[in-house]
Amino acid sequence: MIKYRIQVKLLTEAIFGSGYSIPGSVDLEIVHDEYGLPYMKAKTFKGNFREAMEDVITFIGNKKYETIKDKLLGKEGDGLNTWRTIKFSHCTLSKNITDVLKYGVDEEIIKPSEVKEALTNIRSFTSVEDSGAYREGSLRHMRVVKKDLVFYVNLYSNEKLTEEELGLLAITSKYFRHIGTMRTRGKGEVECSFQELVNGEYQDKTDYYMNKLLKGVKGNG
């Protein structure tokens, strides 16, 4: 059973870049499934999350959390020990929403292209010279995921997580502010929370585990 997850709310449009272009349409297409549903690959999300966790550990200033980070997210050369690390699902819309849209596509009520168009926009971007003038030939069209959509990442662990591990995941979720492509140009601003399954329902446990961790940090300081 999935006991923990990270909720990701898009405060701005985001680009879950696929690296592919569509001639005559967009220069950068987003990642989406066969139903037209946008998502961020687990590996990409984990990489963004790792960067945020490294910043948190630098702020805390205690190197023991480097070891905890490596246990949670893994490190190069782990080999057979990778089973101990947390596994991240793809970053997707809620199951309730995706089930309805998938049903609509399967029953040929709507088309995958219509699903994608409803959840995304196409924006135009151009590069600027040092002088402030637009760089000739730099106009690009990119597909972006609409703001205010809420995505989820499920966390899988083969071992019971300690309160310190949960605290580090929670505080990183709180700190995690940007995701995807063009994060330095106003895209991909997010608000995240760390949630735990309690009595059959997910509850926001961000502050609970974060405050426990910070209390321990202060007590050891």
Residue 142, pLDDT score = 84
Q: What percent of the chain has pLDDT over 90?
A: 59
Q: Which of 10-14, 68-72, 108-112, 213-217 has the lowest mean pLDDT?
A: 213-217
Domains of the chain, by residue range, sit at: 4-220
Produce one character per residue of 4-41: b if its CB has 16 or more CB atoms within 10 Å, e if not.
bbbbbebebbbbbbeeeeeeeebbbbbbbeebbbbbbe
At residue 133, the pLDDT reads: 46
Average pLDDT over the chain, rounded to an integer? 85
Its pTM stands at 0.86
> Is the pLDDT assigned to residue 147 strictly greater than 60?
yes
| Beta bridge mates, 35 | none
Residue 115: strand, helix, or coil: helix
pLDDT tens, residue by residue, 46-61: 999 999 999 999 988 7
pLDDT tier, 124 (very low <50, low <70, confident <90, very high otherwise): confident
74 or 24, greater pLDDT:
74
The Cα–Cα gap between 210 and 166 comes to 8
